[in-house]
């Protein structure tokens, strides 16, 4: 689960207008904030430097203590009623992000204070799982990875195959209420992560955004990027099940941002040959979509060994997707795959997450 960091200090309120001060204290209480009030001296300078948000009353904008403060982000000027032109000019000079006029802007001000108090989180990590061919087991592995990571906090599992029948089936969540891709296909730009996660079906800590069986359709690049970014910005890890049939722009976008890309390769010569095409740059010099992928081999009776797959693909094999005799019946019965430490899927998932942790440490 992402580490949350405490803010260094309380919001600062600077005003000598008792009526305005009463209004501001009431609004701050509504936002769950306990402010520091100062109009001069060392307390004002310290709080101005450290506060997550500074609310300056229009009455103190021209005072020497305030005029002597350095410019900084996160400053809002608050005026009781429509301010005079001089207040607007002083606010611009101060670098204020807004002049909030009470009572008209009370709602905005409460929201702004709440936003300033929201503790920042580390960005969630992004894992992308795909297969070199259909039926490789990528969806099952992606689901197991999400389930394995879920005990540390919420995880978003994204089904990028709009025509694949719905990844919620692997979690037994096909009847659960929540949004599917048709409702989110038009997303663009910034999306609220809290609202997104709350709107999706959830099983064992895994929120899943799946395709719809009643209204299938391609998952577009902009919508996929918006969803992934919303969760990561809120601190949630994201696992994307990326099919080979995905929109090329969508595939390129999520693979470029991936902290770990896993390509599942059945131990057959043709599947390994396709994997080589995916990890190596094409003849025209364009980018290879899976160039940074780690290989996972799914053994096949009578097929290649892991070493032979590595030789064909030209990349080392990180692990094997061992046979789990319970996987097929659990999937048909709508039960999530076993992700315990002793199950083949669970053991591989933990190994992949450990690889992700090592990459994080190396980058730190």
Tokens of 215: 């209204």
pLDDT at 263 (0 to 100): 95
Average pLDDT over residues 254-281: 93
What is the structure's pLDDT at 8? 43
Mean pLDDT, all residues of the chain? 85
Mean pLDDT of 302-314: 94
**Domain definitions of the chain by residue range:** 12-117, 126-363
257 CB burial (10 A radius; 0-12, 13-18, 19+): middle
pLDDT value of residue 321: 86
Least confident of 28-32, 40-44, 117-121, 230-234: 117-121
Query: pLDDT of 114-152, one tens digit each?
Result: 878 766 667 889 999 999 988 888 999 999 999 998 876
User: Residue 229 pLDDT > 60, yes or no?
Assistant: yes
* pLDDT at residue 363, rounded to an integer: 60
Predicted confidence (pLDDT) at residue 162 exceeds the cutoff of 90: no
Instruction: Assess whether the region 12-117 and the region 126-363 belong to the same CATH fold.
Output: yes
What lies within 8 Å, CB to CB, of 331 at 6+ separation is 140, 169, 170, 337
CA distances for 172 relative to 30, 115, 335, angstroms? 41, 36, 5
Give dist(CA 60, CA 64) in Å, integer.
9
- Alpha carbon distance 243, 350 (integer Å): 22
Both structure tokens of 48: 């101005």
Dist. CA 12–CA 181, nearest whole Å: 43
pLDDT tens, 70-80?
988 899 999 99
Cα distance between residue 110 and residue 155, in whole Å? 30
Using CA atoms, how far apart are residues 112 and 53, in angstroms rounded to an integer? 9
CATH number, domain 126-363: 3.40.50.300
CATH architecture of 12-117: 3-Layer(aba) Sandwich (3.40)
* Measured distance CA(139)–CA(147) in Å, rounded: 12
Average pLDDT on 211-235 reads: 84
């Amino acid at each position: 689960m992402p580490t949350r960091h405490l803010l260094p200090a309380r919001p600062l309120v600077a005003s000598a207008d008792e009526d305005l001060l009463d209004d501001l204290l009431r609004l701050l209480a509504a936002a769950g904030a306990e402010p520091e009030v100062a109009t001069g001296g060392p307390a004002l300078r310290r709080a101005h430097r450290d506060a997550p948000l500074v609310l300056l009353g229009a009455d103190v904008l021209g005072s020497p203590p305030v005029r002597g403060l350095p410019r900084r982000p996160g400053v809002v000027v608050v005026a009781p009623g429509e301010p005079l032109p001089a207040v607007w000019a002083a606010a611009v000079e101060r670098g204020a992000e807004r002049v909030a006029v009470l009572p008209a802007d009370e709602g905005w001000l409460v929201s702004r204070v709440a936003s300033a108090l929201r503790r920042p989180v580390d960005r969630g990590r992004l894992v992308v799982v795909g297969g070199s061919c259909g039926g490789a087991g990528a969806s099952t592995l992606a689901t197991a990875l999400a389930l394995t990571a879920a005990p540390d906090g919420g995880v978003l599992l994204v089904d990028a195959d709009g025509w694949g029948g719905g990844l919620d089936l692997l979690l037994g969540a096909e009847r659960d209420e929540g949004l599917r891709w048709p409702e989110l296909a038009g997303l663009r730009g910034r999306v609220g992560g809290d609202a997104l996660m709350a709107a999706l079906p959830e099983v064992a800590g895994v929120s899943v955004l799946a395709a719809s069986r009643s209204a299938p359709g391609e998952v577009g690049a902009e919508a996929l990027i918006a969803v992934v970014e919303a969760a990561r910005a809120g601190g949630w890890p994201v696992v994307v099940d990326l099919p080979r049939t995905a929109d090329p722009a969508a595939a390129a976008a999520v693979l470029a941002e991936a902290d770990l890309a896993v390509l599942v390769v059945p131990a057959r010569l043709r599947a390994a040959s396709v994997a080589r095409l995916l990890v190596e740059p094409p003849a025209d010099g364009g980018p290879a979509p899976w160039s940074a992928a780690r290989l996972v081999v799914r053994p096949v009776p009578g097929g290649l060994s892991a070493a032979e797959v590595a030789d064909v693909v030209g990349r080392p094999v990180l692990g094997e997707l061992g046979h789990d005799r319970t996987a097929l019946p659990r999937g048909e019965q709508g039960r999530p795959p076993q992700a315990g430490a002793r199950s083949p899927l669970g053991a591989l998932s933990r190994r992949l997450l450990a690889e992700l942790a090592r990459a994080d440490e190396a980058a730190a």
